[in-house]
Amino acid sequence: MAVETWLQTLLVMLILMKTESLSVQITYVQSAIAKGAVCLDGSPPAYHLDYGFGSGSNSWLVHLEARRGTRLGSSQQMAKQIDFSGIFSNQWVMNPDFYNWNRVMVRYCDGASFTGDIEAVDPVTKLYFRGARVFNAVMEDLMEKGMKNARNAVLSGCSAGGLASILHCDSFRALLPLSTQVKCLADAGFFIDAKDVSGALHIRNFYNDVVTTHGSAKTLPRWCASRMKPGLCFFPQNVARGIRTPLFIVNAAYDTWQIKNILAPGVSDPHGLWHDCKTDITKCSDSELQTMQGFRLQFLNALNGSGVLRSRGYFINSCYAHCQTEMQETWYRSDSPVLSGKKIAEAVGNWFYDRRPFREIDCEYPCDTTCHNLIFDSQDNPFIP
């Protein structure tokens, strides 16, 4: 009897794991090649689309992928199928407000948050810097597939894609009819202009190099690029104040990418003193935690300085995390992170449908017991324990 009960429990667990994700085939935008809208290696842009149904058939969620490896410079190296979960789930119990929308994952393949636009191919690397063209070509393809008739539309993204959803927010709005309700959602894309532990402005110099290499200045929001150095317009604290389209920010105050690459990048920590702390926040020393608390305050100041509009929303928790909308465990599950009694999915859904505003900031670490804090293995791969 005990064995039978165990097998039944196992079967239920396997069914739940299966229903949490949906495998979606890749689509290549072959027509983009003739327009010069290509990935770094010259391959065509790509996306994954799961069509909506029922009341959501005329609503579109267009999500810009995060940068997760060198393979993302080529659509030929990308997985032909990816699993949709979290904000992409087609199950009401997993994704109550967007489950039946047309849900799109636009693959990241340009290296500059879809802002590059240089005609010439790099003579040394043979790379194409055409991210802005890629964005436009993908949007044109989606418009032809029905997005031009959208009743609701969200441009979202994670990490570099989250930054892209901010940079392209108003231009996305301009593509659609005035009758369409359009809003933008940036997950883990609110990167701040801050000094690292050595006192250097490493991330500012990095973004300046990206903008120069990709020729991004001419595609960044004009009001920002005309008032300051274009590289500074890669920081949402500088560019978000000029965005007119409603915007929601989901971010961990101790974002793992920012702690590892802005606060304590390897170049500023040559002896690896921050290694254990960056791998597992529970291993941080008192002084390292104090430094991280200071970084959190800088993040909150940057957020507040980006403009406080009634149409804005934010969910800023005190987790050691990165990209919380794409994973079921952090988007909408019984044990998902909570702020003011709301999970991320509930906060975003309420904000989008104007049911109630949501602008909440968590208390400082380690107060939040609902977090799914990431731990990194020896190859720097994250996992949730």
| Encoded tokens for 52 | 């909506």
Q: Which of 43, 322, 362, 368 is catalytic?
A: 322
Examine the residue annotation and report whether 318 is marked as an active-site residue of this protein.
Answer: no
Examine the residue annotation and report whether 159 is marked as an active-site residue of this protein.
Answer: yes
Q: Residue 366: is the preceding peptide bond cis (ω within 30°)? A: yes
Q: Which of 110, 141, 187, 255 is catalytic?
A: 255
Considering only CA atoms, which of 339, 307, 122, 311 is closest in space to residue 224?
307
Examine the residue annotation and report whether 85 is marked as an active-site residue of this protein.
Answer: no
Q: Which of 21, 159, 306, 318 is catalytic?
A: 159
**Separation CA 255–CA 71 (nearest Å):** 23
**Separation CA 306–CA 298 (nearest Å):** 12
DSSP output for 126-138: -----HHHHHHHH
Strands (E) across the chain are located at: 22-28, 46-50, 59-64, 81-84, 102-106, 152-158, 181-187, 247-252, 313-317, 338-339, 342-343, 359-361, 375-376, 382-383
Q: Which residues are catalytic?
A: 159, 255, 322
